[in-house]
Amino acid sequence: MKTIIITESQLQAIIEMEKMVKWKHNPKKKAKRVADKDIAQHFKKPGDPWGTDMSPSENWPRHTIPYNTKFNFDELTENYDSEKMYAKSYIEDRLKKAPKYIKKYMKELDEFEKDGRIYVKIPQVLYQYLFGNF
């Protein structure tokens, strides 16, 4: 074993460098850790995988989605058109079980009569509730 003699100022410099290296995080590793945590919180448990209904759901295996999952958002055809008219009866039927804060928009809609039927133009909030992932 060799003995090395250093000054106190050199020792302090070495300690400061170690502190900086110890607490410096790689942004990619941090992003992966945060993503793993977020994905793990949204796992899918469709039911008891063994079909016994004996074990509590906390003991079921958890699943995460792989990082190489590719999504094609170009094929989405869901577009809100503020000028499109919908049959009022259709909108009323779909909003029967909607929350009150959604139903209040129904009272504010402008009605248009065409071919003996009543049509309405709906705001984007109603469109998202009716046709989106609400």
Q: pLDDT by residue (tens digit) across 61-113? A: 555 555 666 666 666 666 788 888 999 999 999 898 889 988 888 888 889 89
Residue ranges of domains in the chain: 8-45+54-59, 81-131
Tens digits of residue pLDDT in 92-103: 998 988 899 888
| pLDDT per residue as tens digits for the range 6-61 | 888 888 887 777 766 555 567 777 777 777 777 666 655 555 555 566 666 666 65
Whether the model pTM is above 0.95:
no
pLDDT tens digit sequence for 113-131: 988 899 999 998 888 888 8
The pLDDT of residue 24: 59
What is the residue type of 76?
L
Question: pLDDT digit string (tens) for 19-29?
Answer: 665 555 677 77
DSSP 8-state symbol, 91:
H
Q: Strands, DSSP E only, in 1-134?
A: 85-87, 111-114, 117-121
